Amino acid sequence: MTTVTAPQVAARLGRFVLRMFRPHIFATYALLWVCALEGSAVALTGRSWRPTGATWVRVVSVVLALLFLRMLDEQKDLDYDRVHHPDRPLVTGAITAAELRLGMAAATVAAAGLNAALSSTAVLLVLSALGYGLLLAVLERLSAAVRDRQLLNLVVTYPVQILLGIYVYGSLAAAGTISADWRGAVLLALSACVFLHFEFARKTAWETPPGARLYSAALGPRRSAAVTAGLAAGAVGCQLALFPPAGPAGLPAGLTAALPAWGLWRFLAVRRGGWPLPAAMGFVIGTYLNLIVRALVVATSR
């Protein structure tokens, strides 16, 4: 039996993170999402927003939660990956399930420890998202429908993202930075539409390669594209409901909204390949940057 030392385990986990988690992507997404959600929540009180130490705790906590879920997904998808992705680290033995579980435990302890500095509510909220992820692993193991039906799987798995949004918003309310009201639900709906727009965009295509898990395979390319565009429209509608379109943030918001419209036109016109992902990614980045800039420089009166 080969003994693996602690430094070797750390190195294997590090290589897994660099390959399967891509920190520059996930950390950037977490930074934009948390700052846009927190900044918008503060701006709606009529004050301009500035990031604080608590902001960085929330950003790092969301990164840790996303890493936890990525490690969990690697284990949940093992049977599928053996057939369709034989080069994945868990399949090849580049990392073991026990090492991934160790990484998940470390992420949990780190997230709980960081949020203990904020409030007990923040600890409970971030742990609830991780706990829901573990519940999903059990559900997918027990139910073939949840595991294999793409749309049902999305309905069951997406709430973990909502719980992370509730963690950000709820920890702000627990700290007394904001007073929770109905606009919090609209903010969470906005971020849900932004995330789901990209989720559908990356899984919408005219062709379905063998083993691919695409929403367009279940809905058809045109209907999947309509849902993708509709989610972007929902995000724009939520933004307009919360903030007036005029002012310094108005033009960027309009330009960002043009990206999914162009993506839909191109997808339907070309009739091959997938939804143009640069447009979907640009919509995510543009929407969140617009909200952050607004929060930094525009104090609302609403």
The pLDDT of residue 135 is: 94
Supply the pTM of this predicted model. 0.92
Average pLDDT value for residue range 218-225: 96
Give the residue numbers spanning the domain of 227: 181-297
Residues 188 and 270 reside in one and the same domain: yes
pLDDT digits (tens, 9 = 90+) for 187-207: 999 999 999 999 999 999 999
pLDDT at residue 41 above 60?
Answer: yes
Residues 269 and 194 reside in one and the same domain: yes
The pLDDT of residue 1 is: 47
- CA atoms of 266 and 247, how far apart (whole Å): 30
The pLDDT of residue 300 is: 45
Q: How confident is the model at residue 256 (pLDDT cuts 50, 70, 90)?
A: confident
Residues 215 and 283 reside in one and the same domain: yes
The DSSP 8-state label assigned to residue 273 in this structure reads S
Please indicate whether residue 84 or residue 189 has the higher confidence score (pLDDT): 189
- CA atoms of 66 and 59, how far apart (whole Å): 11
CATH of the domain at 70: 1.10.357.140
The pLDDT of residue 246 is: 55
Q: Flag whether 133 is in a domain.
A: yes
The pLDDT of residue 248 is: 47
Average pLDDT value for residue range 51-78: 95
* Final residue of a structural domain among 178, 195, 222: 178
Rounded (10°) CA dihedral 34, 39, 42, 45: -130
pLDDT at residue 93 above 80?
Answer: yes
Structure tokens given for 93: 């033995």
In the chain, the amino acid numbered 78 is: L
Q: Flag whether 14 is in a domain.
A: no
Does an H or E element contain 268, and which? Answer: helix 250-270
Residues 121 and 27 reside in one and the same domain: yes
Least confident of 92-101, 113-122, 134-143, 251-260: 251-260
- Residue 236: burial class (beta carbons within 10 Å; 0-12, 13-18, 19+): buried
Residue 40 and residue 253 in contact, taking contact as beta carbons nearer than 8 Å? no
Residues 234 and 268 reside in one and the same domain: yes
* Final residue of a structural domain among 146, 178, 210: 178
Q: How confident is the model at residue 113 (pLDDT cuts 50, 70, 90)?
A: very high
Q: How confident is the model at residue 118 (pLDDT cuts 50, 70, 90)?
A: very high
Q: Flag whether 12 is in a domain.
A: no
Residues 172 and 290 reside in one and the same domain: no
Residues 25 and 174 reside in one and the same domain: yes
290 phi/psi in degrees, rounded to 5: -60, -40
Q: Flag whether 167 is in a domain.
A: yes
Residues 27 and 161 reside in one and the same domain: yes
CATH of the domain at 218: 1.20.120
Task: Kindly give, in sequence order, each residue whose CB lies less than 8 Å from that of residue 146, ignoring residues fewer than 6 positions away.
Answer: 139, 140, 152, 153, 156
Q: Flag whether 99 is in a domain.
A: yes
Q: Flag whether 1 is in a domain.
A: no
* Final residue of a structural domain among 178, 198, 214: 178
Helix (H, G, I), strand (E, B) or coil at 274: strand
Q: Flag whether 224 is in a domain.
A: yes
The pLDDT of residue 127 is: 97
Q: Flag whether 64 is in a domain.
A: yes
Q: What share of the chain is helix, strand, coil (3-state, %, to 5)?
A: 75, 0, 20
Supply the mean pLDDT for the chain: 91
Residues 116 and 89 reside in one and the same domain: yes
Q: HEC states along 48-82?
A: CCCCCHHHHHHHHHHHHHHHHHHHHHHHHCHHHHH
Helix (H, G, I), strand (E, B) or coil at 118: coil
Strand (E) positions, the chain? none
Of all residues in the chain, the percent with pLDDT exceeding 70 is: 94
- CA atoms of 22 and 29, how far apart (whole Å): 11
Residues 42 and 154 reside in one and the same domain: yes
In the chain, the amino acid numbered 15 is: R
The pLDDT of residue 251 is: 54
Structure tokens given for 301: 């009166």
The pLDDT of residue 79 is: 83
The whole-angstrom distance between residue 90's C-alpha and the CA centroid of its chain comes to: 23
Structure tokens given for 92: 């090849």
pLDDT at residue 249 above 70?
Answer: no
Average pLDDT value for residue range 214-237: 95
Residues 144 and 195 reside in one and the same domain: no
Domains contained in the chain, number:
2
Please indicate whether residue 78 or residue 248 has the higher confidence score (pLDDT): 78
Residues 160 and 202 reside in one and the same domain: no
Q: Which residues pair with 205 in a beta bridge?
A: 274
